[in-house]
Amino acid sequence: MKIVVVNPNTSRSMTDAIGHAARSAASPGTEILAVQPEYGPEAIDCAMESYLSAVAVMDRLLTLGEPYDAVVLAGFGEHGREGVQEIVDVPVIDIAEASAHVAQMIGRSYSVVTTLQRSVGAIEDRLRLAGLADRCASVRACGLSTLEVDDDPAAAMEEIVAEAGRAVRDDHAEVICLGCGGMAGLDEAITARLGVPVVDGVAAGVRLAEAVAGLGLRTSKVCTYAAPDPKRIPAWPLSRHLKAAVR
C-alpha cells in the first residue's frame, strides 16, 4: 500500500518531520510518500494562506504522476479537502478529523492545542462541519506561529505542554489532539509529561488511511465528490506551466 502524505506548506523541514512521523506510524509494507506543493506559503497561519495552499495541494496531486492508495492531508483543518476528494478516487483523510475521531474512541472529551489564536476559529469550523464538535472541550492556542514550531520543536513543546495542561485542568479534556502538522512526533513526550493520551494527527491519519484503503473502500462519486464537470481552466495545473516557463 502507498499513502501520499501532503504537507500543505512549502517548508522542506516540516515535510521531512511529517514524513518521519508518518513512516513511524505506518504498518510494515506501507510505503509513505511525503510531498509538499511546488508553490505557496512556507507556513499557514491565516485564511488567505490556507486557501492558496488548497489550490497548490490540488495542483501537486494532479501532477504527481504515480499511483497511490490513499491521501493524508497533513494540515490541521486547512481548506481543500473536499476539492481533493473530487479530483482523486482514493480515500482522503484530513488529520484534524482523523485525530478527533481517534480521540473520541479513547476519551469522553478532547481538546485541540494549536498554534496561533487566529487559527482557533478555522479548526472549530472544520470540526463542526465534520460533526465532531460536540465532544470537543476546547481549542486552545499555544501562541507560537507555525514557523516558530518548525524552527524549534523542543522550545515549542514547553508552550504546547502548558496549554495542554490547562485544557486538562480547566476544560476537563481527557485527550489532547496536536493541532498542527508541524507538531508531529511530540505526542509521546507530552503524554509522558501530562499523563494524558495525546493524538498525533499525522499518525492517526496514516492508520485510518490504511484501514479505509485496506477495506477496499474508495471515495464515493455518486454526488457530492463526483469529478468536476469538464471546463476550460487556463494554465491549470499551474505547476506544469511554471516548469515549462522555466525551461
Query: Model's pTM, two decimal places?
Result: 0.93
Q: Note whether 209 and 25 are within 8 A (CB).
A: no
| Sign of CA pseudo-dihedral 124, 128, 76, 29 | positive
Per-range mean pLDDT, top range of 77-81, 91-95, 148-152, 161-165: 91-95
For 71-120, what is each residue's pLDDT tens digit? 999 999 899 999 999 999 999 999 999 999 999 999 999 999 999 999 99
Helix (H, G, I), strand (E, B) or coil at 152: coil
Q: In CATH terms, are 2-94+205-246 and 96-201 the same topology?
A: yes
Whether the predicted pLDDT of 150 surpasses 90: no
- Distinct helix (H) and strand (E) counts, the chain: 10, 8
**Domain spans in the chain, listed from the N-terminal domain onward:** 2-94+205-246, 96-201
What's the start-to-end Cα distance of the chain, in Å? 35
Helix (H, G, I), strand (E, B) or coil at 81: helix
pLDDT confidence tier of residue 60, bands split at 50, 70 and 90: very high
Q: Note whether 107 and 136 are within 8 A (CB).
A: no
Whether the predicted pLDDT of 162 surpasses 70: yes
Backbone angles phi, psi at 175, to 5 degrees: -140, 145
Those residues whose C-beta lies under 8 Å from the C-beta of residue 192, and which sit 6 or more positions away, are none
Instruction: Classify strands 2-6 and 70-73 as parallel, antiparallel or unpaired.
Output: parallel
- 132 vs 149 pLDDT, higher one: 132
Give CATH for domain 2-94+205-246. Answer: 3.40.50.12500
Report the run of H or E that residue 2 belongs to, with start and end. strand 2-6
CATH number for domain 96-201, candidates 3.40.50.12500, 1.10.510.10, 3.30.160.270, 3.20.20.70: 3.40.50.12500
Nearest 5°: the CA angle 4, 112, 196 is 100
Q: Note whether 92 and 73 are within 8 A (CB).
A: yes
Q: Note whether 112 and 142 are within 8 A (CB).
A: no
Query: 231-237: long-range contacts (C-beta < 8 A, 24 or more apart)?
Result: 236/59, 237/58, 237/59, 237/62, 237/63
Count other C-beta atoms under 10 Å from residue 124's C-beta: 16
User: Region 55-75: what's the mean pLDDT?
Assistant: 95
